[in-house]
Amino acid sequence: MEVDEACERAGGRDYLELRASRCEVGIAGCGSGKVEGSVRLSSGRTAVAVEVKGPESSPSGAPTKPTAGRDGLLVTVRSIVRPISGLAGEREQDLESKVVSFVEGILDPSCPPRTTVTVVVQILSEDGSLLATILNATAVALVEAGVPLFGSPVAVSIAVADSGTPRVRLDPDLREESTCELVGTYAYLFVTEGDQTGASVVQASSMGRSSAETAMLALATAEKAAEAVFHSRRGGEE
Amino acid sequence: MAMAEKEGRTCVPGEVIARVPRDGGPAGTTVRLGSGTSQNKCGQVTLAIRTTKAGTLKQQGKREVKRFWVETRHQRYVPSMDDLVVGIVMECHGETYSVDVGGPQAALLPILGFEGATRRNRPMLSLGDVVYARVSLADRDIDPELLCTEKISAKPKGLGPLKAGYVLKVQTGCSRELLSGEHGDQGVLQLLGDHLDYECCLGVNGYVWVKGSTAAETLMVKNAIENYQSISFGARGEQEETRKRVRRMVGDLVRRRGGDEG
């Protein structure tokens, strides 16, 4: 039984507790015609603003790359991620490609073909769990823009400190991310039928190393957490 | 034996609404999918019908034919048959005009697609001209087509080019609300009509054409409609609250105009 005083989370948070999150929808003005979905999402002190436009007609000759599983889905997704200040660098390009693969994974096959969906992300402040916050904000912006989606997406960020018994922490802040061995972001897609919910993994990216069991534990915890977020969000919409 | 339209319930993308047998079922039941829904194969014999957008899920239908659709307030318009839309002409390619209707693809309007048009006598439209047209062909995979002629035995609705005036873009849900006139005499357009003379043309695609007798009045109508959109978005369907705010807003605009001219 170890009681790690040093592992107390900031703000007295429980290991499996998410930070307070705040979501504002329609910040770019509804109906302005320039942007269709716009969201400002903050989770603790990490805040991002995302704008979505589309589906709109692609310029002719835009290359189509193969996407997994769905033949006939000819929608191009473009993404731009801007840092808090300065020019976009390699990290932003890496985030852009993750956003693109996330959106391609959740688009419904009934999207009109030969169109483009554009996602612009502006990072406002950072305190850990950046990718999960970006993916969640993108999901809300897509729903607000009315882009056809296959299901409801939720992304969750996990950090595991592998000292002794691995403790899985949800929604790590920057300090925890730098001290934990494994940091992962997992995005799930939920499809409901009556009372049952089915989840599928859309994106799983992790940094660092851990044993295989710990990695599976992180994946399973993320799925449960994402499901809880999904249900509470749905309950909030009723 | 028509089933009344069921009260809608809010839904998010990814809810499976129904499962239907792939080959139509015993009594030949047909299911029509409206906007915001889609289907996919699930097992050998059934199709699952899913929602793809967030909004109010509605269904309607008699025993044999059922319709499901999701009502949304989004901006991007999805063209469907027989919608009356306002479009802006972009260019002329030979025999057709290319018209922007706010959808994923540009729509095509044949140059002879106007009431009583012949080769010699037809409206010459150029970039920026506004037309009020009917969607005659719409499918996900092809470019939508428009026509400015009436269907046989339909009442004339004033399809064709619209001169002068100003076009503004609103959410499709907002233009549908304005069209349905759900606030009756207390609606924005009716209240404005008490004070000014103006013309307006509402397209279900979210493009609204307005024209007042002076430029200032045109802008007033434009501001009123845009403010109405923010009000109804914020008030979220509380009728009385919306009406009060709309009355106050129109009163402010009129008073300001009176102050300028006086």
User: Could you report the average pLDDT of every consecutive run of 10 residues in chain A (238 residues)?
Assistant: 49 79 77 75 90 76 54 75 89 91 85 84 90 92 86 88 75 85 89 82 86 86 89 69
pLDDT attached to residue B238: 67
How far, in Å, CA of B248 to CA of A133, rounded? Answer: 40
Q: Cβ–Cβ contacts within 10 Å for residue A84, how many?
A: 10
Domains belonging to chain B, first-starting first, are: 2-71 (2.40.50.880), 84-162 (2.40.50.140), 166-261 (3.30.1370.10)
Question: How close A201 gets to chain B, by Cα (Å)?
Answer: 14
pLDDT attached to residue B145: 92
Phi-psi label, residue A32: left if phi above 0, alpha if psi -120 to 50, beta otherwise:
alpha
User: Per the domain annotation, does A114 fall within a domain?
Assistant: yes
User: Per the domain annotation, does A69 fall within a domain?
Assistant: yes
- Residue given tokens 């089915």 in the structure block: A198
CB spacing of A26 vs B16 below 8 angstroms: no
* Alpha-carbon distances of A140 from A52, A153, B31, B149, rounded to whole Å: 10, 9, 29, 41
CA A22 from centre of chain = 15
Nearest CA in chain B to A197: B15
* Alpha-carbon distances of B209 from A96, B88, B175, B200, B225, rounded to whole Å: 39, 10, 11, 5, 11
Which chain A residues are within 8 Å of B170, Cβ to Cβ?
A: 31
Q: Cβ–Cβ contacts within 10 Å for residue A139, how many?
A: 27
Question: Do B106 and B100 form a contact (C-beta atoms < 8 A)?
Answer: yes
Domain that holds residue A19: 10-237
Nearest CA in chain B to A70: B40
- Here the CATH number for the domain that contains residue A124 is 3.30.230.70
Among B10, B15, B46, B177, pick the best mutation site for testing chain A contact (most A Cβ within 10 A): B15
How far, in Å, CA of B87 to CA of B101, rounded? Answer: 5
User: Per the domain annotation, does A67 fall within a domain?
Assistant: yes
Q: What is the mean pLDDT of chain B?
A: 79
Question: Do A128 and A174 form a contact (C-beta atoms < 8 A)?
Answer: yes
Copy the structure tokens of residue A25: 């929808």
How far, in Å, CA of B68 to CA of B32, rounded? Answer: 7
Provide the β-strand partners of residue A169.
Answer: A159
Nearest CA in chain A to B33: A110
Among A27, A38, A108, A142, pick the best mutation site for testing chain B contact (most B Cβ within 10 A): A108
Please say if the pLDDT value at position B235 is more than 80: no
pLDDT attached to residue A148: 85
Nearest CA in chain B to A144: B74
User: Per the domain annotation, does A2 fall within a domain?
Assistant: no
A83–chain B Cβ distance below 8 A for any pair: no
Could you tell me which of A49, A71, A38, A9 has the C-alpha nearest to residue A145?
A38
User: Per the domain annotation, does A151 fall within a domain?
Assistant: yes
Could you tell me which of B241, B246, B205 has the C-alpha nearest to residue B226?
B246
How far, in Å, CA of A199 to CA of A191, rounded? Answer: 7
Phi-psi label, residue A12: left if phi above 0, alpha if psi -120 to 50, beta otherwise:
left
User: Per the domain annotation, does A4 fall within a domain?
Assistant: no
pLDDT attached to residue A66: 54
Residues B8-49 have pLDDT tens digits of 778 888 888 877 776 655 555 677 777 777 777 766 677 778
Copy the structure tokens of residue A88: 């976009």
The tally of domains found in chain A comes to 1
- B218-227: b or e for each residue (b if 16 or more CB lie within 10 Å)? bebbbebbbb
A62–chain B Cβ distance below 8 A for any pair: no
Question: Do A214 and A180 form a contact (C-beta atoms < 8 A)?
Answer: no
A102–chain B Cβ distance below 8 A for any pair: no
CB spacing of B229 vs A30 below 8 angstroms: yes
Which chain A residues are within 8 Å of B10, Cβ to Cβ?
A: 237-238
CB spacing of B52 vs A150 below 8 angstroms: yes
Question: How close A133 gets to chain B, by Cα (Å)?
Answer: 20
Question: Do A134 and A99 form a contact (C-beta atoms < 8 A)?
Answer: yes
pTM over 0.95: no
User: Per the domain annotation, does A164 fall within a domain?
Assistant: yes
CB spacing of A115 vs B75 below 8 angstroms: no
How far, in Å, CA of A189 to CA of A210, rounded? Answer: 25
User: Per the domain annotation, does A225 fall within a domain?
Assistant: yes
DSSP string, B133-202: EEEEE--SSS--EEEBSPPTT------EEE-SSEEEE--HHHHHHHHHTTTGGGSHHHHHHHH--EEEEE
Could you tell me which of B70, B64, B65 has the C-alpha nearest to residue B51?
B70
Could you tell me which of A81, A78, A79, A77 has the C-alpha nearest to residue A121?
A81
**Residue in B13, B75, B229 nearest the CB of A143:** B13
